[in-house]
Amino acid sequence: MGAESVDLSKALREAGLRVTQQRVVVLSILMDSQDHPNADEVFTRAKEIDGSVSFATVYRSLSALEEAGLVRKLSFENEPARFETMPVSDHDHLVDVETGEVIEIDSDEINRLRQEIVARLGYEIVSQHTVIRARRKPR
């Protein structure tokens, strides 16, 4: 096992999960991806790494990783759920309604404004996730 898989094994154990090759593969795929893959895409990538992996195993792994707080499931209307590793900081997502591309928006300014507005209303944020559905402007 390489250093990365040892670290992933440690992350799985610390999250209370049994370490399996499939969970290490799924978690490593999500850590290395920039495109917020859906379960089918994770399965295709996992199959390239471990030809014996089944879709059911990938799906169960995604569910276990989500339940343990290592992975976040992103649900966008009328589209299959996408997945990302739990972000270090809260960020929003912009979804291109024509291509389905998902773009992360990480903005201290947006986060500050959100905090101010919520505090003004007498609340504190427990968690948040904003999805902006947009279309590219014609040039």
**Contact of 53 with 32, CB cutoff 8 Å:** no
Between CA 11 and CA 95 the distance in angstroms is 30
CATH number of the domain located at residue range(s) 3-85 in this protein: 1.10.10.10
Residue 41 confidence (pLDDT): 94
Domain positions in the chain: 3-85, 92-134
User: What is the DSSP code (8-state) at residue 68?
Assistant: T
CATH number of the domain located at residue range(s) 92-134 in this protein: 3.30.1490.190
Q: What's the pTM value of the predicted model, to 2 decimals?
A: 0.68
Count Cβ atoms within 10 A of the Cβ of residue 64 and give its class: 0-12 exposed, 13-18 middle, 19 or more buried. buried
Tens digit of pLDDT for each residue in 62-91?
999 999 988 988 887 778 888 988 866 677
Residues 6+ apart with CB under 8 A from 34: none
Residues 6+ apart with CB under 8 A from 51: none
Residue 78 confidence (pLDDT): 77
Percent over 70 (pLDDT), the chain: 94
pLDDT band for position 1 (cuts 50, 70, 90)? very low
Strand segments (E) across 6-129 = 71-74, 82-85, 92-96, 102-105
Residue 104: beta bridge partners?
A: 93
Is residue 3 pLDDT above 60, yes or no?
A: no
Residue 103: beta bridge partners?
A: 94
Tens digit of pLDDT for each residue in 116-125?
999 999 998 8
